[in-house]
Amino acid sequence: MTTPPKPAPAAGSRAGMKKELPERFKSYQHVWVFIEYEHGEINPVSLELLGEGRKLADKLGVELAGAVAGANREGLHAVAVEAFEHGADLVYVVADPILEHYRNEPFSQVLTELVNTYKPEVLLLGATVLGRDLAGSVATTLLTGLTADCTELEIDDDRCLAATRPTFGGSLLCTIFTLNTRPQMATIRPRVMALPPRQPGRTGRIIEHKVSLREDDIVTKVLRFVADRDSSKAQLAYADIVVAGGLGLRSPENLQHVRALATVLGGDWGGSRPLVQKGWMPADRQIGQTGKTIRPKLYIAAGISGAIQHRVGVEGADLIVAINTDPRAPIFDFAHLGIVADAVELLPALTDAFRKRLSVNRLAG
Amino acid sequence: MHIVVCIKQVPDSAQIRVHPVTNTIMRQGVPTIINPYDLFALEEALRLRDKVGGEVTVLTMGPPMAEDALRKALGIGANRGVLLTDRFFAGSDTLATSFALAQAVRKIGETWGAPEIVFTGKQTIDGDTAQVGPGIARRLGLNQLTYVAAINGLDLEAGTIAVARRAEGGVQELSTKLPALITMLEGTNEIRRGTVPDVLRAARAEIVVWNAAAAGITEMTLCGLRGSPTVVKRVFAPTPRATKAEQVEVKDRPFETIADDVMERIFAAQPALEAELLRTAAGY
Amino acid sequence: MPQERFDAIVVGAGPAGNATAYTLAKGGLNVLQIERGEYPGAKNVQGAILYADALEKLIPDFRDDAPLERHVIEQRIWMMDDTSHTGMSYRSDDFNEERPNRYTILRSQFDRWFSSKVREAGATLLCETTVTELLKDGKGRVIGVLTDRHGGPILADVVVMAEGVNGLVGQRSGLREELKPKTVALAVKETHFLPQEVVENRFNLTGDAGVVIEAMGTITQGMTGTGFLYTNRESVSVGIGCIVGDFAASGVTPYSLLDRFKRHPSIAPLIAGSEVKEYAAHLIPEGGYNAMPEIVGEGWVVAGDAAHLVNAVHREGSNLAMTSGRIAGETIVWLKRRREPCTAKNLAEYRRRLEDSFVLKDMKKYRKIPAMLHSNPRIFGLYPRLLNAVAQTFFRVDGQDKRTKEAQIIRTVRSQRGIGGLIGDAVKLARAWR
Amino acid sequence: MTTKTPNGTEPAQKIEEKLYQNRYLVDSGRPHVKVKDHTEPTAELKMLVNVCPAGCYSISEQGKVEVVPDGCMECGTCRIITAESGDIEWNYPRGGYGVSFKFG
């Protein structure tokens, strides 16, 4: 149990927000990315951050390092190789059975110890549920600045990190600096930064770091893990692919076409507000201003007019495909791909096309 | 049992809209509300109190008018409201905020008994950082449970609590020791409406108002702007992406060909998607 | 659980409710005010003009901190046809006085300020609570209220219904009839935001001086109704309203009527480039004195719009609401001090005091106007067109000699309405106006 | 602006756009206005489709009048018009729900 930190006096003068780095932080160098590695898989956001981190490191003329923790050493070494091929110069590896499942205490202690030992100037984490949970406690322990959910990172001429993030629910953006403390911490939303191309054969240095952890010191125990894929509850807010229906489906029975396509694509399904009002579907499936806000990779809107109340709930999707019989439907103003056709006819055809391509033979629906 | 719930009075950011076309920021006449995520935390606290007895104290840090948020929380059923207000707190970032709130929670503990659980909402709708909860946990040595979807078990004698929390790609079930800091997910419960006695008691209640000193905060350099390592340099409206949809040709083409065309364009726009789908599809 | 008991319960936190609760609290009574909105003002809509005189009698120094938009220095009255307007405008520097007489306000912000004064005076306020019905004892005397929250009822010696035009509580407790389509108007309005200097340029204003425009004519497409445009600090309130019965019969949608009014050549340039931040709709009691419900009973009184206290001819409502609220409060405090019960007989003093005030004097003066307006649609169609046609002919210089011009004007008037008809209408109007 | 004012044409702004500006707290699952079951809508009920300032009433494919009270501004016009024919049930939403005017 780390004892609560004694608050160190704040550094630097506040007048005019000038940036004067205290002596002890002057030696902090290099850009780090915390690599999320759970259930044997790297979270794609970590690779995106390595791409972004490479750009920042090159601008600063410093090295890009990855930091990864877990239980299985071979797996961690494989992660290091993957990191080198995505731009990392070195990877700090911390292997310990206690780190098998993510828990706040041990992972905070590990990351804090790594930072205090190797002193990075920039530390990036994915703005995932894990990343935000970890970043919050590490930043407080280090008494340093942390900017959440960044959508853009730059290095200004004073070699400082300029982090831009949405505020007021995304209606505004603001650029934030960490003035006089190091490391400058930031979490970045998945699928905002580009995935860098893999450079097969690129190598780098691995640094094993030993931490002294004792299971009985750690009070939080993981009992079970239920993956989304296996749970039946609507996980619209977290789904990568969403297929939704609107009044254009003309009747509740046609919602089965929406569900069929969603199942073939391994995604989730929902609908616009009028469907809830007409009782065609439960309220927790509603997408839009008074329903869920979704940020999937692919959003297929079938028979949805795309009124502004719906638009604000789906604008974060990477690719919006809109099917509507009315060429003037507002949804065509913000969708990427538009098809002026009857969704009730097109959806089954789309389901068959994807099923053939993915040679998925189980019954959809 | 004594539970502290941290709430924040925020502008109703759903009303601060940037019109997607005109791109102007609409701020005028925006009322303040209790941060919606905090209400789910308050409801969960009230349910625990109703089950095992005890009191719920609601704490907020903000300008004097934040008292209205406390009264509304009392009206929903909380027992006591504490307002932490001091001009030194102005401009606090999440680090300075969690410092002040942690001190206030400690003072509340000294005054009405140390809380077994400190609740906060998942995040605020104006800051969206989700950092203050973890900050309080770290400063008070509370076991941190964020993105909690449900409380599965509470054993006061043994001092343990079991929860289900949102994790990457699924739900993690954990158990840990009290005292704990819990940030609640939205939609976990339905928020109750206070009874007539609740709202009358709230209207008449004496709100406890503390400035920094009264809350036992002495290191003023750790508060407000001086205690904030991060500073906002620029606020601006995002440039709207008002590009029209690229239309797929439909005139006298059978639905199969249109469907294939659409599928090809989707995979062209999202190359990684096809690989991922093949992998997940193979997993069935 | 001992049942909560108050000296008085006030239903509603609009001008009438706040004036009543303020007066009762200042009188030392234990007052409970119940508002169904999220905050006082959340459910209230008005043009909106504040009449300083009525508020001064309650809070003399209100100008120190009340959220006021502009003080009115110019009143325009427009008779409009499809392309033009004629009429009068009165602008006076006298209105730039130390304690201005009329202000434009934004009601949800103003009501919230007024409510803070009421709470400072000692009243207890419950928001987000809807009074569903009155509680009566065996003898039919009102002894409290029920709300949409569990754990009621709440008792009181008297209940003041300041619940606004719909008056559902009074209706559902059998104390009044449902409103009639021809005695109530539906008004729709928008709040258009413009930079402060743009408002000042377009209306030739400096500081916080303001202009208000009342408009009638073909803008209501033959229905009985009026439009308005009021200048606020950095916004303009634009609205139009007609008798509900006329709306129902004509099938014209309120929002198309408003959009058409906004596109009128005399209105459009005043709001060009504005940003609409809110669209609101509300009823206005326009039946006058004859449509007033019973306002006094065993353990209850009614104030404000719920008592139909609106002088539609002069577009006055909030002053009647505040005044009737004050007088209701004063009456109850007066009875309390004399330890008199709030029976219908004792509460009748409230009605007597209203009779002595401008409130019922004005209502009685214009009691015949609503019927006259309703039976004479020409006022909203023919006469405005006629007036504008006359002005057009009169002012257009086209080489025609003036004598022929005047003859032409008289000919157009006679062909449209005839001298006899004109005189007849004038007499009817004069008789209703007296 | 010298264009002639078109007479009663399609409103410049769709009603949905107007209502988007307003602040509205939906009391989901508890609509405060309901249309009573009917086979043939009365004249008064059909009037509501045009008279409602928020456009909450519409005629379904089966020719019945339906109401979606989201965006309702609680003006009461529909209650008054159908008072005699008794076509609808009209109540205030629960305290704090429904429209919440920023300016009023």
Tell me the CATH number at B98: 3.40.50.620
Residue C256 forms contact with D (CB below 8 Å): yes
CA separation for the pair C145, C36 (Å, rounded):
13
In tens, the pLDDT along C104-125 reads: 999 999 999 999 999 999 999 9
Of C1, C129, C277, the CB nearest to B26: C277
CB contact under 8 A, A362 and B284: yes
Contact B29 C277 (CB under 8 A): yes
Is the domain of B252 the same as that of B207? no
Contact flag D47-C254 (C-beta cutoff 8 Å) = no
Across residues C294-311, what is the average pLDDT? Answer: 96
Q: How far is B29 from chain C (nearest CA, A)?
A: 8
Backbone angles phi, psi at A70, to 5 degrees: 180, -170
C184 interface with D at CB cutoff 8 Å: yes
**Phi–psi pair at C208, nearest 5 degrees:** -110, 35
Q: What's the gap in Å between the CA of D7 and the closest CA on chain B?
A: 28
**B182/chain D closest Cα distance in angstroms:** 27
Residues C41 and C143 in one domain: yes
List the structure tokens of C207: 């500081």
Instruction: Provide the domain limits for residue C306.
Output: 5-59+106-177+293-356
Q: What does residue A27 show for φ and ψ, rounded to 5 degrees?
A: -85, -5
Q: What is the DSSP string of chain B?
A: -EEEEE--EEE-TTTSEE-TTT--EE-TTPPEEE-HHHHHHHHHHHHHHHHH--EEEEEEES-GGGHHHHHHHHHHT-SEEEEE--GGGTT--HHHHHHHHHHHHHHHHHHH---SEEEEES--TTT----HHHHHHHHHTPEEEEEEEEEEEEETTTTEEEEEEEETTEEEEEEEESSEEEEEPTTSSPPP---HHHHHHHHH---EEE-TTTTT---GGGSTGGG-SEEEEEEEPPPP--PPPEEPP-TT--HHHHHHHHHHHHHHH-HHHHHHHHHHHHT-
Among A217, A249, A268, the domain-final residue is A217
Average pLDDT, chain A: 87
Question: Range of B259's domain?
Answer: 244-284
Across the interface, whether the CB atoms of B196 and C235 are under 8 A apart is answered no
Least trusted range by pLDDT, from A226-235, A335-344, C73-82, C349-358: A226-235
* A276, A340: one domain: yes
Query: Which pTM value belongs to this model?
Result: 0.88
Chain A residues whose beta carbon lies within 8 Å of the beta carbon of residue D28 = 276, 283, 290
Claim to verify: residue A306 and residue A213 sit in the same structural domain: no
Residue matched to tokens 């949804």:
A331
CA B1 to chain centre: 23
* Interface with C, mutate which of D2, D92, D94, D100 (most C CBs under 10 A): D92
> How much is the pLDDT for A358?
82
- How is residue A247 annotated by DSSP? G
DSSP letter for each residue of D57-77:
EEE-TTS-EEE--TT-----H
Domain count, chain C: 2
Cβ neighbours of residue A326 closer than 8 Å, sequence gap 6 or more: A305, A340
Subunits close to A (at least 3 CB pairs below 8 A)? B, D
* Residue B236 placed within a domain: no
Nearest to A277 among D16, D17, D68 (CB): D68
Task: Fill in the DSSP letter of residue A172.
Answer: E
pLDDT band for position C287 (cuts 50, 70, 90): very high
What phi and psi, each to the nearest 5 degrees, are found at residue B125?
-85, -5
- Residues C308 and C416 placed together within one structural domain of the fold: no
Residue A208 and residue A242 in one domain: no
Q: Which of B184-188, B261-265, C401-405, D75-79 has the highest mean pLDDT?
A: D75-79
Assess A194–B contact: CB distance below 8 Å, yes or no: no
pLDDT exceeds cutoff 80 at D11: no
What are the beta bridge partners of residue C102? C51
Whether A325 and chain B come into contact, CB under 8 Å, resolves to no
**CATH number of the domain to which A269 belongs:** 3.40.50.1220
* Mutation to test the B interface, candidates A3, A108, A129, most B Cβ within 10 Å: A129
Q: Same structural domain for residues C342 and C418?
A: no
CA of B30 vs chain D CAs: smallest distance (Å)? 7
B275 — pLDDT class (breaks 50, 70, 90): confident
CB C216 within 8 A of CB C266: no
How close, in Å, is residue B28 to chain D by CA atoms? 8
Examine chains A and D and say if they touch (3+ CB pairs below 8 A): yes
User: Taking CB atoms and an 8 Å limit, are B15 and D103 in contact across chains?
Assistant: no
Backbone angles phi, psi at C340, to 5 degrees: -90, 140
Q: What pLDDT band is residue D12 in, cutting at 50, 70 and 90?
A: low
- Nearest Cα of chain B lies from the Cα of D74 at a distance, in angstroms, of 20
Q: What is the C-alpha separation between B110 and C143, in angstroms, rounded?
A: 46
**Which pLDDT score is estimated for D56?**
93
- Lowest-confidence region among A260-269, A289-298, B116-125, D54-63: A289-298
**One domain for residues B84 and B132:** yes
* Chain B residues in contact with D94 (beta carbon < 8 A): 193
- Helix, strand, coil tally for chain D in percent (to 5): 20, 15, 65
Do C339 and C382 fall within a single domain? no
Number of structural domains in chain A: 2
- Residue pair C128/C39 in contact (Cβ under 8 Å)? The answer is no
Instruction: For residue range B134-187, list pLDDT tens digits in order.
Output: 999 999 999 999 999 999 999 999 999 999 999 888 899 999 999 999 999 988
Minimal Cβ distance to B196: which of C106, C128, C152: C152
Percent of chain D scoring above 70 in pLDDT? 88
Other CB atoms within 10 A of residue B186 CB? 16
Q: Does D2 touch chain C (CB under 8 A)?
A: yes
Total number of domains constituting chain B: 2
Measured between CB atoms, does A147 come within 8 Å of chain B? yes
Residues B86 and B179 grouped into a single domain: yes
Can you tell me the distance from the alpha carbon of A214 to that of A97, in angstroms, rounded to the nearest whole number?
10
**Chain C within 8 Å of B17 (Cβ-Cβ)?**
no
Residue pair C370/C312 in contact (Cβ under 8 Å)? The answer is yes
Domain that holds residue A291: 230-357
Task: State the pLDDT confidence band at B284, using cuts at 50, 70 and 90.
Answer: very low
Question: Do residues A172 and B236 lie in contact, with contact meaning Cβ atoms separated by under 8 Å?
Answer: yes
User: Looking at the complex, does the CB of residue B207 fall below 8 Å from at least one CB of chain C?
Assistant: no
pLDDT band at residue A10 using 50, 70 and 90 as cut-offs: very low
C425 located within any domain: yes
3-state secondary structure of A251: coil
B196-255 tens-digit pLDDT? 999 999 999 999 999 999 999 999 989 988 889 988 888 887 776 657 788 888 888 899
Q: Are residues B123 and B39 in the same domain?
A: yes
**Which value, to the nearest 10 degrees, does the dihedral of the CA atoms of residues C87, C93, C99, C102 take?**
10
Domain boundary among A217, A246, A261: A217
pLDDT at position C379 is: 83
Note whether residue B272 is domain-resident.
yes
Residue listed under structure tokens 């309650």: C58
Give the CATH number for residue C173: 3.50.50.60
Contact present, C and D (at least 3 Cβ pairs less than 8 Å): yes
Nearest-CA distance from D90 to chain C in Å? 10
Residues 6+ apart with CB under 8 A from C10: C17, C20, C21, C24, C31, C32, C33, C34, C123, C159, C160, C162
Same domain for C110 and C39: yes
Per residue in C135-155, pLDDT (tens digit) is 999 999 999 999 999 998 999
The secondary structure of A33-86 as a DSSP string is: EEPPEETTEE-HHHHHHHHHHHHHHHHHT--EEEEEEES-HHHHHHHHHHHHTT
d(C-alpha A235, C-alpha B149), whole Å: 12
**Which of chain D's residues have a Cβ under 8 Å away from the Cβ of A277?**
68, 70
Structure tokens, C302? 């009614």
Q: Is the pLDDT of residue A9 over 70?
A: no
Write out pLDDT tens, residues D32-78.
Answer: 999 999 999 999 999 999 999 999 999 988 899 999 888 899 999 99
Cβ separation A173–B238 shorter than 8 A: yes
The pLDDT value recorded for residue B281 is: 64
8 Å CB contact of C109 and D44: no
How many CB pairs below 8 Å do chains A and D form together?
17
Alpha-carbon distance of A301 to A320, in angstroms, equals 7
Element (H, E) at A133: helix A129-142
Arithmetic mean of pLDDT, A337-349 = 93
Residue B57 corresponds to which tokens in the numbers above? 């104290």
D103 touches chain B (CB under 8 A): yes
pLDDT in tens, C12-44: 999 999 999 999 999 999 999 999 999 999 999
How many angstroms away from the CA of B66 is the closest CA of chain D?
Answer: 18
Flag whether A224 is in a domain. Answer: no
Which site among B199, B201, B204, B206 would you substitute to test the C interface, given the most C Cβ atoms closer than 10 Å to its Cβ? B199
ipTM: 0.85
In a domain, C173, yes or no: yes
Could you tell me if B109 and B250 lie in one domain? Answer: no
C169 occurs within a structural domain: yes
Mutate to test the interface with A, among D32, D70, D72, D99 (most CBs of A within 10 A): D70
Query: Hey, what CATH class is D31-94 in?
Result: alpha beta
Work out the pLDDT band at B90, boundaries 50, 70, 90.
confident
Strands A146-150 and B117-121: unpaired
What is the end-to-end Cα distance of chain D in Å, rounded?
Answer: 29
Residue C419, class by beta-carbon neighbours within 10 Å (0-12 exposed, 13-18 middle, 19+ buried)? exposed
Is A333 touching B (CB cutoff 8 A)?
yes
Q: Mark yes or no for CB contact D92/C272 under 8 Å.
A: no
Write out pLDDT tens, residues A16-58: 456 788 999 999 999 999 999 998 999 999 999 999 999 999 9
Rounded Cα distance, C54 and C360, in Å: 15
* Average pLDDT of the residues in A275-297: 84
Do A302 and A169 fall within a single domain? no
Task: Write the secondary structure of chain C as one string of H (helix), E (strand) and C (coil).
Answer: CCCCEEEEEEECCCHHHHHHHHHHHHCCCCEEEECCCCCCCCCCCCCCEEEHHHHHCCCCCHHHCCCCCEEEEEEEEEEECCCCEEEEEEECHHHCCCCCCEEECCHHHHHHHHHHHHHHCCCEEECCCCEEEEEECCCCCEEEEEECCCCCCEEEEEEEECCCCCCHHHHHCCCCCCCCHHHEEEEEEEEEECCHHHHHHHCCCCCCEEEEEEEEEHHHCCCCEEEEEEECCCEEEEEEEEEHHHHHHHCCCHHHHHHHHHCCCCCHHHHCCCEEEEEEEEEEECCCHHHCCCCEECCEEECHHHHCCCEHHHCECHHHHHHHHHHHHHHHHHHHHCCCCCCHHHHHHHHHHHHHCHHHHHHHHCCCHHHHHHHCHHHHCHHHHHHHHHHHHHHCCCCCCHHHHHHHHHHHHHHHCCHHHHHHHHHHHHHHHC
User: What pLDDT is attached to residue B245?
Assistant: 83
- Is-contact A322 A329, C-beta < 8 A? yes
